[in-house]
Amino acid sequence: MAKLLVLYGTTEGQTRKIVSFAADKLTVAKHQVRLIDAADAPDTLTPEPFDGVIVAASLHIHNYQSAVRHWVSEHAAGLNKRPGAFVSVSLAAAAEDEEERKEALACAESFFEKTGWHPKAVHNAAGALRYTKYDFFKTWIMKRIAKSQGGSTDTGHDTEYTDWTALELFVTDFAAAIDD
């Protein structure tokens, strides 16, 4: 079985929930998984000891977390020598508007171009409206965006859009390809 690094960045916690789910599924499948928040990654963490690497980050205003960008840029050469997967988390992945989904894909492509990493697999995971985690201003903005797209505007609770079945299939297929 594969030894996998799952490195992530999160803002309101949905990406952490997504990678924890993925890590659990991979562990059940008998893979060795090291789950690390990029913001807490030790300087000694490199991709070299791993058979494959999954990086996950959430998209906010066309950018991913700076800690993820920094780590991937720093280790692009090592990442490109082994199987890699990227999970881009955004509300755009749940959008019915094709242009929004294309824009999210363009952000991922820009990330790869800027960092020099070229993962073998990419999954766009829908995130969540985390109204209970937002400040007043962000709640107001997100509610307006959600309303324009037919999403939840009930600020009293959070709404998840993540397709857990698709995510499980993606990570298990990625790990199975490493084992082959």
Q: Confidence band (pLDDT; 50, 70, 90) for 141?
A: confident
Span(s) in the chain for CATH 3.40.50.360:
3-127+162-179
How many CB atoms sit inside 10 A of residue 53's CB? 23
DSSP string across the chain: --EEEEEE--SSSHHHHHHHHHHHHHHHTT-EEEEEEGGG--TT--STT-SEEEEEEE-BTTB--HHHHHHHHHTHHHHTTS-EEEEEEEGGGG-S-HHHHHHHHHHHHHHHHHH----SEEEEEE-EE-GGGS-HHHHHHHHHHHHHTT----TTS-EE---HHHHHHHHHHHHHHHH-
Q: If you classify domain 3-127+162-179 with CATH, what class do you get? A: alpha beta
pLDDT tens track for 29-75: 999 999 999 999 999 999 999 999 999 999 888 899 999 999 999 99
pTM > 0.85: yes or no: yes
Lowest average pLDDT, out of 49-53, 56-60, 110-114, 150-154, goes to 150-154
